A and B are shown apart, each in its own frame.
Chain A
């Protein structure tokens, strides 16, 4: 019960003999806290249990839908999307396709990034192309020509240099960039 009992813990080299030090002395918790979304020094302490994906990092492969409530006023909105005084209903691809054309760019980008692998992603892709946006395969972002400037096509005709407007999904805003665009990189 005295200090000698602590020796195996203190002497790191032969820790394997007596105790599993990761459970006794423990570990540096900062990576664990970070994986939980806990930042001890930040003033604002965000609750993490409401979006807790799993007890283990390895099984926390995707975000999980947290508890939320959709007020009625968000659901049955009449007189929008040319639905007349009925709230719009989304129950057939043909009708829905027409409605998609009524959405503003940001809404299309939202549907494209939020619902991967769905009909919505495909339809928004088609609609954005119609609006002269092009999807960059490697950058995985949408871009369109800056109307103010005509790009200069390269000699070999495989690319052009000019000023483009990108939609940045991380910052959720459009930003202008000078850029060399290779035609085979977009779709």
Chain B
């Protein structure tokens, strides 16, 4: 049987499960054009 400590670590791992945003390619250097900017809420916010 899974030890209790292991089960709770597994649970916390499930809670922190990385998602596709975590796995996305890093972009440290942002050209001024690609810097975040508060655009209208009506604009699409997903590519």
- Chain A residues proximal to chain B, CB less than 8 Å: 53-54, 56, 59-65, 90-93, 96, 112-123, 125, 135, 137-138, 140, 187
Contacts and interface: CB of A to CB of B under 8 A. Distances in A.
Interface of B: 17-21, 23-25, 31-40, 42-47
A121 B32 contact: no
B39 A93 contact: no
Given A90-B31, A115-B34, 17 more contacts: A54-B18, A61-B19, A61-B21, A62-B19, A62-B20, A62-B24, A90-B33, A112-B43, A116-B44, A116-B45, A118-B35, A118-B37, A119-B33, A119-B34, A121-B39, A122-B39, A140-B43
A187 B47 contact: no
Determine the main DSSP class of B at the interface with A. Answer: loop
B25 A65 contact: yes
Contacts of B46: 62, 116
